[in-house]
């Protein structure tokens, strides 16, 4: 690759930080440099939610639309998602060609596009929701010429793409913080930006830790973000539905904290009304997103009877659910755990409380008072 061409491509990468529309030009210029009918793309991938082509050049437009459905079958992406950041990997290393050709992904997506079995890919950056990658494909008849050129280009651009990703994440963090401040939100301990389908587009450092710990939240079915506390999850689901509809009053919800659970703010962000959202295209942000800002945990004001009996916070929540009449299976579903886990917790609750059945537990919960006089609030009372 000529020095002038490399400098121009590097300049395009950093220009795209401020103007995401320039990613398209970068990919088109890079594909022209590789030659041999090269197709290039920047896209996101999560094991739970599959992948999507965020920006692409050279591919059949109909195939780009079909990729979201077929991405779950992509054996290349399933391998590269675990690769080190900034390391280009050849397509045959990601999936042997003889294995690839036996897949439905090959029959429905690879072969119809001039049999683009050759190519390479690399991870640009990662979030708790998955990896964001830069890669491309070469028609088999141009493999000997195009694939080595693609590898060289990726090696030269890898440090710039990774640095651009890191800078873009920092810039996006500032934008999200400003958006939260403009809505008069209280300072947040963690911020997570959600797409309308509930998948995570961005999380700040504290948000990444929170997702990794999985105590207050997690990523579940289809790669969707969820909150452990049922009241908060119900509010989150309703807010996402409003964002999906794309009409009416913008979402702005505050879920008060209690007994150690932090206050949670949900705020809709209309990207079309914001200027200069860096890396928006790379992050696959739609026009409307939902910001989940989690405030610092609120310590319990006093120790209640259940806590005094030695129940953990999780056991107190389960006790409140059981006392309200919910069966074990429903409690497990609402908390996102197995029935076996809930049954084990219930046995521990019975032992610590000195009761033998649900009726006795319900009587104890309903009469529970914090030591100091305030009535203990169950989850159902907060709904």
Angle formed by the axes of helices 328-335 and 313-323, nearest 10°: 130
Judged against a pLDDT cut of 80, whether residue 87 lies above it is answered with: yes
pLDDT value at 374 more than 60 = no
The DSSP secondary structure of 314-338, one letter per residue, reads HHHHHHHHHHTT--HHHHHHHHTS-
Structure confidence by residue, pLDDT tens digits, 169-186: 666 666 666 666 655 555
Q: At what angle do helices 339-353 and 328-335 cross, to 10 degrees?
A: 110
| pLDDT tops 90 at residue 362 | no
> Among 83-92, 100-109, 180-189, whose mean pLDDT is lowest?
180-189
What is the average per-residue pLDDT within 205-233? 79
Q: What is the mean pLDDT of the chain?
A: 77
- Identify the pLDDT of residue 343: 92
CB of 299 closer than 8 Å to CB of 315: no
Q: What is the DSSP string of 13-52?
A: HHHHHH-TTHHHHHHHHHHHHH-TT-EEEEEEEETTTEEE
pLDDT score at 309: 74
Name which of 51-55, 191-195, 309-313, 355-359 the model is least confident about.
51-55
In this prediction, residue 277 carries a pLDDT of 45
Does the pLDDT at position 101 exceed 90? Answer: yes
Position 90 confidence tier, pLDDT thresholds 50, 70, 90: very high
Mean pLDDT (whole number) for 100-109: 92
- Distance (Å, rounded) from C-alpha 227 to C-alpha 235? 10
Please name which of 326, 296, 328, 300 lies closest in space to residue 312, comparing C-alpha atoms.
Answer: 300
Comparing C-alpha atoms, which of 35, 32, 33, 14 is closest to residue 23? 14
Mapped onto helix, strand or coil, the DSSP state of residue 102 is coil
| The most confident of 11-20, 111-120, 233-242, by mean pLDDT | 111-120
> Token pair 């076996």 is at which residue?
340
Q: What is the DSSP letter of 302?
A: S
Q: Are 185 and 293 in contact (CB under 8 A)?
A: yes
Q: Which of 121-125, 283-287, 320-324 has the lowest mean pLDDT?
A: 283-287
Q: Are 202 and 244 in contact (CB under 8 A)?
A: no
| % of the chain at pLDDT higher than 70 | 73
Q: Supply angle C-alpha 79, 81, 87, rounded to 5.
A: 90
Q: What is residue 259's predicted lDDT score, i.e. its pLDDT?
A: 54
| Per-residue confidence (pLDDT) for residue 379, from 0 to 100 | 37
Mean per-residue pLDDT, 78-107: 90
- Tell me which residue of 280, 257, 9 sits closest to 156, measured CA to CA: 9
Which of 151-165, 191-205, 258-272, 353-367 has the weakest average pLDDT? 258-272
Query: Is the model's pLDDT at 263 over the cut of 60?
Result: yes
Tokens 């409003």, residue located = 242
Which domains occur in the chain, in start order? 3-169 (3.30.450.80), 183-294 (3.30.450), 305-382 (1.10.10.10)
81: helix, strand or coil: coil
Alpha-carbon distance of 90 to 256, in angstroms, equals 50
In contact, 119 and 67? CB cutoff 8 Å: no
What are the C-alpha distances in Å from 350 to residues 98, 316, 318, 331, 376? 58, 11, 11, 16, 19
The whole-number pLDDT of residue 140 equals: 93
Report the pLDDT value the prediction gives residue 110, as an integer from 0 to 100.
92
**In the prediction, which pLDDT does 92 show?**
93
Task: Tell me if residue 60 falls in helix, strand or coil.
Answer: coil
Q: Give yes or no for residue 378 having a pLDDT over 70.
A: no
pTM over 0.85: no
Q: What is the DSSP string of 213-280?
A: H-SSEEE-GGGBEEESSHHHHHHHHHHHHHHHHT-SSPPEEEE--BTTBPPEEEEEEEGGGSS--TTT
Ranges 118-127, 166-175, 201-210: which has the least confidence: 166-175
């Amino acid at each position: 690759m000529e020095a002038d061409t490399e400098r121009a491509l590097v300049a395009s990468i950093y220009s795209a930080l401020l103007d995401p529309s320039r990613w398209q030009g970068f990919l088109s210029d890079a594909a022209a440099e590789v030659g041999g009918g090269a197709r290039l793309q920047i896209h996101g991938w999560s094991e739970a939610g599959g992948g999507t082509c965020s920006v692409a050049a050279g591919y059949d437009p109909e195939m780009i639309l079909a990729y979201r459905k077929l991405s779950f079958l992509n054996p290349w992406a399933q391998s590269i998602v675990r690769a080190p950041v900034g390391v280009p990997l050849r397509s045959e290393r990601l999936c042997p060609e003889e294995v690839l050709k036996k897949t439905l992904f090959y029959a429905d997506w690879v072969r119809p596009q001039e049999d683009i079995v050759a190519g390479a890919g690399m991870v640009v950056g990662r979030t708790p929701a998955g990896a964001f990658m830069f890669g491309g494909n070469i028609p088999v008849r141009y493999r000997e010429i195009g694939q080595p050129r693609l590898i060289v280009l990726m090696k030269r651009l890898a440090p710039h793409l990774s640095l651009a990703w890191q800078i873009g994440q920092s810039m996006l963090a500032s934008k999200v913080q400003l958006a939260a401040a403009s809505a008069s939100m209280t300072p947040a301990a963690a911020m997570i930006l959600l797409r309308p389908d509930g998948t995570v587009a961005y999380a700040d450092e504290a948000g990444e830790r929170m997702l990794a710990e999985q105590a207050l939240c997690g990523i579940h079915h289809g790669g969707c973000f969820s909150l452990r506390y049922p009241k908060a999850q119900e509010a989150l689901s309703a807010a996402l539905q409003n964002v999906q509809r794309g009409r009416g009053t913008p979402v702005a919800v505050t879920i008060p904290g209690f007994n150690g659970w932090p206050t949670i703010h949900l705020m809709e962000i209309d990207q079309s009304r914001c200027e200069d959202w860096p890396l928006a295209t790379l992050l696959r942000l739609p026009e409307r997103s939902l910001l989940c800002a989690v405030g610092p945990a609120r310590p319990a004001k006093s120790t209640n009877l259940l806590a005094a009996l030695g129940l953990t916070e999780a056991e107190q929540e389960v006790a409140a659910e059981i006392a309200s009449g919910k069966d074990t299976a429903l409690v497990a579903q609402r908390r996102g755990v197995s029935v076996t886990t809930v049954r084990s917790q219930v046995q521990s609750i019975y032992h610590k409380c000195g009761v033998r059945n649900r009726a006795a537990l319900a009587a104890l919960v309903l009469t529970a008072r914090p030591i100091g006089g305030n009535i203990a609030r169950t989850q159902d009372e907060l709904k």
